[in-house]
Amino acid sequence: MTMGRYVLGIDAGGTKTVGLLADESGRVVAEARGTGANLQTQGELEVEKVFDGLIETLGRDHPISAVCLGIAGVDRPHDENVIRGILRRLGHRERVRVVNDAAVALVAGAPERNGIVVLAGTGSIAFGADAVGHTARAGGYGFLLADEGSGYWMGHQILRAAVRSADGRGPKTRLEGLVFDAFQVGTVPDLIPHVYEKGLPKARIAALAPLAEHARAARDEVAEELIEQAGRELALAARSVHVHLDFGGDPFPVVLAGGVFKALPTLPEALDRHLELPGARTAPLTVEPAMGAVTLALDLLN
């Protein structure tokens, strides 16, 4: 076993979980990945299995002195207590920090720790912090209540647009053929068993999001409007957060994080068109969000 103090930063998303082990200088020495760990959708037992696997892998040869976990849905005290209980059972009682996954993405993308992050993965959320310690969030309440602009939202809209196109209830769109090809079916009745009888998971629906970019590249108006609407919704969430923060008139970062921005390369442009925030400087997150969790875990050593 290597001596010295090490910290573990974990970013738990809807489709994957990433753990980074770093030394006291912040240098990452090991990485491990697991499946999604969403408390609301996967449940406590499955989340514990994912964390157990990461901690077992990364803590085998290095003593873990502090842990920061970024995970969706911990804004409610009950959910945070559940996650802290899981970590206690895994041997981590002290020097533990549990925050929303958007908070670690912001720290990863904005080293000064103030600005706004728009996180669009399977779900979506906007979160921000200013220099005096105020924080705010918008969205991130799950697929039934919010998550506009997320991968799931986009995939759901694509499915509906394809069915409306096939029925003639909506405009014809290339999304119809792309969806049928994705499921290897030829008609809407053939699609129904995949969606209902086989219980199409949210991650599988979110994985359809890139089809909008494929159709847009062929000048499909329905796909173009879906991407524009996603940008409009995500910009609205960022503006809602901005109302509650004070950046003193200085430029501030708007970090774009999550797989949807990679799946839809023209989405950042759509968001920019609707952002309307003087001083905002949008930029993609170029490192693992778990790096933000590492930074917050290092704070615990001090």
Q: What pLDDT is attached to residue 117?
A: 98
Q: What is the token pair recorded at 189?
A: 């009745």
Amino acid at 151: G
User: What mean pLDDT value characterizes the chain?
Assistant: 94
6-110+288-301 placed in CATH 1.10.1040.10: no
Residue 245 near residue 192, CB atoms below 8 Å: no
Whether the pTM exceeds 0.85: the reply is yes
78 SS3 class: helix
Would you give the DSSP letter of residue 194? I
Which tens digit of pLDDT belongs to each residue from 32-82?
A: 999 988 887 788 999 999 999 999 999 998 999 999 999 987 877 888 999
Q: What pLDDT is attached to residue 3?
A: 67
Domain ranges of the chain: 6-110+288-301
Amino acid at 14: G
Environment class of residue 116 by beta-carbon count within 10 Å: exposed (0-12), middle (13-18) or buried (19+)? buried
Give the residue among 123, 280, 270 at the shortest CA–CA distance from 202: 123
Q: What pLDDT is attached to residue 242?
A: 98
CA distances from 159 to 39, 152, 204, 205 (A): 26, 11, 12, 8
Q: What pLDDT is attached to residue 198?
A: 79
Distance CA 298, CA 65 (A): 9
Q: Write phi, then psi, for 32 (nearest 5 degrees).
A: -145, 150
Number of helices (H) and strands (E) in the chain: give both, helices first.
13, 10
Distance CA 119, CA 105 (A): 8
Question: Hey, which residues does 125 pair with through a beta bridge?
Answer: 119, 139
Q: Write phi, then psi, for 238 (nearest 5 degrees).
A: -65, -40
Which tens digit of pLDDT belongs to each residue from 236-294?
A: 999 999 999 999 999 999 999 999 999 999 999 999 999 999 999 999 999 999 999 99
Q: Is the pLDDT of residue 134 over 80?
A: yes
Beta strand extents in the chain (DSSP E only): 6-12, 16-23, 28-35, 64-71, 96-99, 115-120, 124-129, 135-139, 252-257, 280-284
Which tens digit of pLDDT belongs to each residue from 71-116?
A: 987 877 888 999 999 999 999 988 999 999 999 999 999 989 999 9
Model confidence at 13, pLDDT cuts 50, 70, 90, reads confident
Distance CA 279, CA 298 (A): 30
Q: What pLDDT is attached to residue 1?
A: 52
Which tens digit of pLDDT belongs to each residue from 149-164?
A: 999 999 999 999 999 9
